[in-house]
């Protein structure tokens, strides 16, 4: 029998999804599982976005343009303008979720064997897409004790080599909820300029920044052609399933190259584009309500976490995640055990072991990533379950 590819063997399993079969098994037993493991908001999608697809008048669901509908890209220009990001329709390419935006950016900008620097802990799937594209990932460490602040420039310079082609940021950050300050971004800009790098900036949580400092996009740093924005409508309108993301850049050459990949895969999802387009305008109140809701959840959830003996979470300033340390040696074993063994009144809690968000296998072993995407009662119940599970686990 022919073999599997080496890169396929090297592909990491998703730390967010790899325990899913255990959760499925628990559910089949009738156990209720609270999902803190995945950034799947429970908020409704905007009603006007759902209506757009309910009232679809097309007779044939045909291919859309490889770069996505012009009407959608026009509305996005207006949306970005509200954040001081000045782009034209030609600067935007619609992709199958932020996921495809990441992969295609990597493929267009870097060769196999090239290196990219990211902060760890970082979104695990960046590493999967880097493996897919044959890119070597070098990491600089942020620390839970510092609230996962941007590591100093020297830490980046230590891992820069002649093969380094890019720095990748997630801002606001998944999995940590960190938001980089204008001063921190200025340091990144200097590095990117000094070493002639690309800056890939994943800003899908832009709407969820809970500090009073002005939020700065990578496209507002004056980096021009070196900045590549990764974006998605998934989180801000609670429509993760439609798979609509985007690459936004002033770099013509990158855009033209990405377009060759886009033409090969023909087009982004048609129905998702209809939903996304209807989400952009007239949803100011929806976004304000979502923001308030997440901020309340954050305040409630982080306080609750830190009140559990041995648990520590810094205060995240953006997105809807936190990385917390637990009083266990092996958080992955604990997460599994919660799904296979722990039950309280027929319920349990699912978390993502944080080790999968680190490149260094020694780091984050006692940490988990938690998403506060459930309503407050459910978060409260999850906190109770976590408290009881830790007690029972450490007493075994």
Q: Nearer Cβ to a second copy, position 245 or 314? A: 245
Shortest distance (Å) from residue 308 CB to a second copy: 28
Shortest distance (Å) from residue 292 CB to a second copy: 18
Q: Nearer Cβ to a second copy, position 144 or 239? A: 239
By CB under 8 A, the residues from 215 to 254 that bind a second copy are 225-226, 238-243, 251, 253-254
Choose, by CB under 8 A, the member of 74, 141, 257, 394 that binds a second copy: 257
Q: How many residues bind a second copy (CB under 8 A)?
A: 85
Which tokens is 251 given?
């770099």
Q: Nearer Cβ to a second copy, position 267 or 366? A: 267
Binding segment for a second copy (CB under 8 A), chosen from 74-82, 85-93, 124-132, 385-393, is 124-132
Q: Is 112 in the site for a second copy (CB under 8 A)?
A: yes
Q: Nearer Cβ to a second copy, position 124 or 328? A: 124
Q: Is 28 in the site for a second copy (CB under 8 A)?
A: no
Tell me phi and psi for residue 145, to 5 degrees.
-65, -30
372 closest CA partner among 14, 41, 45: 41
Binding segment for a second copy (CB under 8 A), chosen from 104-112, 281-289, 363-371, 378-386, is 104-112
On the 0-12 / 13-18 / 19+ scale of CB atoms within 10 A, 276 is: buried
By CB under 8 A, the residues from 156 to 215 that bind a second copy are 165-166, 196-198
Q: Nearer Cβ to a second copy, position 2 or 361? A: 2
By CB under 8 A, the residues from 129 to 148 that bind a second copy are 129, 132, 134
Residue linked to tokens 């020694």:
362
On the 0-12 / 13-18 / 19+ scale of CB atoms within 10 A, 173 is: buried
Q: Nearer Cβ to a second copy, position 16 or 326? A: 16
By CB under 8 A, the residues from 41 to 100 that bind a second copy are 41-45, 49-50, 53-56, 58-66, 96-97, 99-100
Shortest distance (Å) from residue 259 CB to a second copy: 9
116, 234, 275, 291, 315 from 357: Cα distances, Å: 16, 21, 31, 26, 18
Binding segment for a second copy (CB under 8 A), chosen from 86-94, 266-274, 304-312, 328-336, is 266-274
Shortest distance (Å) from residue 276 CB to a second copy: 10
Choose, by CB under 8 A, the member of 143, 194, 260, 376 that binds a second copy: 260
Q: Report the C-alpha dihedral over residues 374, 377, 378, 379, rounded to 10 degrees.
A: 70
Q: Nearer Cβ to a second copy, position 215 or 358? A: 358
Q: Nearer Cβ to a second copy, position 336 or 344? A: 336
Shortest distance (Å) from residue 270 CB to a second copy: 3
Q: Is the bond leading into 361 cis (omega within 30 degrees of zero)? A: no
Shortest distance (Å) from residue 67 CB to a second copy: 10
Shortest distance (Å) from residue 284 CB to a second copy: 20
Q: Nearer Cβ to a second copy, position 196 or 377? A: 196
Which tokens is 62 given?
């045909």
**How many alpha carbons lie under 13 Å from residue 345 in its C-beta half-sphere?**
6
Q: Is 287 in the site for a second copy (CB under 8 A)?
A: no
Please state at what angle helix 331-340 crosses helix 376-395, rounded to 10 degrees: 110
Question: Is the CB of residue 262 less than 8 Å from the CB of residue 67?
Answer: yes
Shortest distance (Å) from residue 47 CB to a second copy: 9
Shortest distance (Å) from residue 163 CB to a second copy: 12
């Amino acid at each position: 029998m022919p073999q599997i590819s080496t890169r396929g063997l090297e592909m990491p399993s998703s730390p967010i999804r790899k325990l899913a079969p255990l959760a499925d098994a628990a559910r089949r037993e009738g156990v209720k599982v609270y999902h803190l493991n995945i950034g799947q908001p429970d908020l409704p999608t905007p009603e006007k976005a759902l209506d757009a697809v309910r009232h679809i008048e097309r007779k044939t669901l045909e291919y859309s343009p490889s770069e996505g509908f012009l009407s959608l890209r026009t509305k996005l220009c207006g949306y970005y303008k509200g954040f001081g990001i000045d782009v034209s329709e030609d600067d935007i390419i619609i992709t199958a979720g932020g996921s495809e935006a990441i992969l295609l950016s990597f493929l267009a900008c870097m060769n196999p064997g090239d290196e990219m620097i990211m902060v760890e802990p970082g979104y695990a799937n960046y590493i999967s897409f880097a493996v897919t594209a044959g890119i070597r990932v070098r990491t600089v460490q942020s620390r839970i004790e510092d609230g996962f602040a941007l590591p100093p420039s020297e830490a980046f310079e230590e891992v820069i080599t002649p093969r380094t082609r890019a720095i990748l940021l997630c801002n606001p950050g998944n999995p940590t909820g960190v938001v980089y300050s204008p001063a921190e971004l200025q340091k990144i800009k200097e590095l990117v300029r000094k070493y002639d790098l690309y800056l890939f900036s994943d800003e899908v949580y832009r709407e969820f920044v809970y500090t009073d400092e002005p939020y700065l996009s990578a496209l507002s740093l004056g980096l021009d052609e070196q900045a590549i924005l990764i974006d998605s409508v998934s989180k801000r309108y609670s429509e993760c399933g439609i798979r609509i993301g985007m690459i936004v850049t002033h770099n013509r050459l990158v855009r033209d190259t990405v377009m060759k990949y886009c033409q090969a895969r023909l087009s982004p999802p048609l129905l998702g584009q209809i939903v996304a387009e209807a989400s952009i305008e007239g949803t100011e109140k929806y976004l304000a309500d979502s923001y308030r809701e997440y901020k309340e959840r954050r305040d409630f959830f982080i306080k609750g976490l830190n009140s559990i003996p041995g648990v520590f979470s810094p205060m995240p300033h953006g997105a809807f995640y936190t990385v917390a340390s637990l009083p266990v040696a092996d958080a992955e074993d604990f997460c599994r055990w919660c799904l296979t063994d722990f039950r309280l009144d027929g319920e349990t809690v699912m978390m993502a072991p944080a080790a999968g968000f680190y490149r260094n296998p020694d780091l984050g072993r006692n940490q988990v990533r938690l998403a506060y995407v459930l309503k407050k009662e459910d978060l409260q119940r999850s906190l109770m379950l976590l408290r009881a599970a830790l007690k029972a686990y450490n007493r075994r």
